[in-house]
Amino acid sequence: MAKPRLATIWLDGCSGCHMSFLDLDERLFDVFARAELVYGPLVDAKEFPEDVDVTLVEGAVSTEDDLRRVREVRAKTKILVSLGDCAVTANVPGMRNPLGPKAILETAYASGVTGASAAPSEWVPALLERVQPVHAVVPVDVYLPGCPPSADVIAEAIDQLLAGQLPDTAHLASFG
Amino acid sequence: MSVVTLVIDGHDVAGQSGQSILSVAREHGIAIPTLCHLDGLSEVGACRLCMVEVRGARRPLAACVTEVQEHMEVTTTTDELTDYRRQIIELLFTERNHVCAVCIANRHCELQDLAKALGMTHFDLPALNPSAGVDASHERFGIDHNRCVLCTRCVRVCAEIEGAHTWDVRGRASEARVITDLGTPWGESPTCTSCGKCVQVCPTGALFEKGRAVAEGKERRPYVPFLVARNRRS
């Protein structure tokens, strides 16, 4: 039987959840003995592949690019995992929601220290009006809150996912 | 005071007339989740987390404000009650901006603990994300309304224990805010004694002491019952 295909993706987050994933340390050998890592910041692959079994999504949906990518990932993944508070609640990226993207961009660029007269309009994706958790835009199968979820929590969840089970994360992980 | 016998979760228990279901349950080691309740302060039934089922009652009753009665039959945990409690936590989280990761009370927060105890992994309701505001005008303390759950512990401890009655609640529903001296900035409050009791009893990071960093926490001193006991003696 072919190994399950595992992917990770980094939307609007600080990469702390990926760091926590790396904190599996020697347990990563077990994970990669059981699964093939086919996409993510830790893999040199340009396009998100077809037929992925499990994708861990870090980060909130903040830009048009985040939205396009998470929809593509959802279409090509059997089990989608919201990894960490940004993916689950919008968390820190969502703190701009009470202000709106226009005010944020003006503060960061036009009146900021960069010397720019306005926010960049090309090469960077446009901000969405509201930062949203992943499950607000695509269906999510497993929620793993935490900022970040600890390596132990991620290890436990991955262990069950690679065994073909949906982990019950209700008493495994918590916010913050 | 006469003795009242009743049944809670199938256990025969005894309390005194006038005592609340919550108080009798806790005396017998039966846990009921609460948020607005604090030993030593009056009960307001604001959070509704302690709702229990009482045989013969048409709706769930808040255990903190319902007195025990002879032959009462109380159930503290059912799937339906747990579902209600989870809905309450979800409403609290989505009504304001509770960002645990950058909160002074991270891992010292009763709202966060309740979410974990009730097994919350995410919220289906969209967040309201209001601009709830911060009052940092007081020299030593601050209030971040984004983290307030309107439990009114601050209002009660200030009025009932400190005797200053600086705090009150203004507005209704999602517009409700705790305020100092009818809306005067806290730093200009003529009645605040800067005792810090409100900060101590706040279950979340809404009321905080300045100069403490994220997750550095709030000291938890369960001293309100001792102050009450001393007041009664003197």
User: CATH number, domain at B33?
Assistant: 3.10.20.740
Asked if residue A93 lies in contact with residue B102, where contact means CB atoms within 8 angstroms, the answer is: no
By residue range, what is the domain housing residue B108? 101-233
Whether residues B226 and B160 fall in one domain: yes
Domain boundary among B62, B77, B92: B77
Residue B117 sits in the same domain as residue B196:
yes
Residue B117 forms part of a structural domain: yes
Q: Any residues with CB less than 8 A from the CB of A141 and at least 6 apart, and which?
A: A79, A80, A81, A166
Asked if residues A119 and A109 have their Cβ atoms less than 8 Å apart, the reply is yes
pLDDT of residue A22 exceeding 80, the answer is yes
Residue B91 lies in a domain: no
**For A56-74, how does the pLDDT look when each residue is reduced to its tens digit (9 = 90+)?**
999 999 999 999 999 999 9
pTM for this model (two decimals): 0.94
Question: What distance in Å separates residue A152's CA from the closest CA in chain B?
Answer: 17
A171 has a chain B CB within 8 A of its CB: yes
Chain A residue nearest residue B120, CA to CA: A170
**Crossing angle between the packed helical segments B110-117 and B79-95, to the nearest 10 degrees:** 140
One domain, residues B119 and B11: no
ipTM summary value: 0.93
What ranges do the domains of chain A cover?
Answer: 5-96+127-162
Is B170 in contact with B183 (CB distance < 8 Å)?
A: yes
Least confident of A42-51, B145-154, B206-215: B206-215
Decide: B22 and B97 in contact? Cβ < 8 Å.
Answer: no
The number of domains in chain B is 2
CATH superfamily entry for domain A5-96+127-162: NADH:ubiquinone oxidoreductase-like, 20kDa subunit (3.40.50.700)
Strand partners, B12: B7
Which tokens in the block code for residue B88?
């309450």
Partner-chain contact A133 B122, CB within 8 Å: yes
Structure tokens at B167: 């705090």
Identify whether residues B183 and B108 lie together within a single domain. Answer: yes
In a domain, B142, yes or no: yes
Please tell me which of the candidates A98, A147, A176 has its beta carbon nearest to residue B130: A98
Section B162-173 average pLDDT: 97
Token pair of B63, please?
């255990």
Q: State the distance between the two ends of chain B, measured CA to CA, in whole angstroms.
A: 23
Q: Is A175 on the interface with B (CB under 8 A)?
A: yes
pLDDT tens for B180-209 read 999 999 999 999 999 999 999 999 999 999
CB contact under 8 A, B131 and A99: yes
- How high is the pLDDT of residue B214? 74
Of A90, A92, A143, the CB nearest to B121: A143
Tell me how close the Cα of B77 comes to any Cα of chain A, in angstroms.
17
Does B84 map to a domain? no
Residue A161 contacts B, CB cutoff 8 Å: no
Q: What is the CATH number of the domain that holds B153?
A: 3.30.70.20
Same domain? For B113 and B204 the reply is yes
Please state at what angle helix A27-34 crosses helix A151-162, rounded to 10 degrees: 20
Preferred mutation among B103, B122, B146 to probe A, highest tally of A CBs within 10 A: B122
Q: Which of the 8 DSSP states describes residue A12?
A: B
- The verdict on residue B60 lying in a domain is yes
Exposed / middle / buried, residue B44 (Cβ in 10 Å: 0-12, 13-18, 19+): middle
The residue of chain B with its CA nearest to that of A96 is: B129
Whole-angstrom CA distances from B32 to A54, A61, B9, B117, B229 are: 38, 37, 11, 11, 24
Domain-located, residue B202? yes
Residues in chain B with CB shorter than 8 Å from the CB of A143 are: 121-122
* Co-location of B150 and B106 in the same domain: yes
Domain membership flag for residue B171: yes
Residues B67 and B158 in one domain: no
- Selecting from B101, B129, B215 the residue whose C-beta is nearest the C-beta of A85 gives B101
**Are B73 and B124 contained in the same domain?**
no
Buried b vs exposed e over B59-83: b needs ≥16 C-beta within 10 Å? ebbbbbbbebeeebebbbeeeebee
- Across the interface, of A82, A94, A95, the residue whose CB is closest to B122 is A82
Kindly determine whether residue A171 and residue B100, on different chains, have CB atoms separated by under 8 Å: no
Q: Is residue B196 part of a domain?
A: yes
C-alpha of B49 from chain center: 9
My answer on whether B105 and B216 are in the same domain is yes
Q: Which residues of B touch A135 (CB under 8 A)?
A: 122, 124
H/E stretch holding B61 reads strand B61-62
**Domain end among B30, B62, B77:** B77
Most confidently modeled range among A105-109, A120-124, A170-174, B110-114: B110-114
pLDDT in tens, A118-148: 888 888 899 999 999 999 999 999 999 999 9
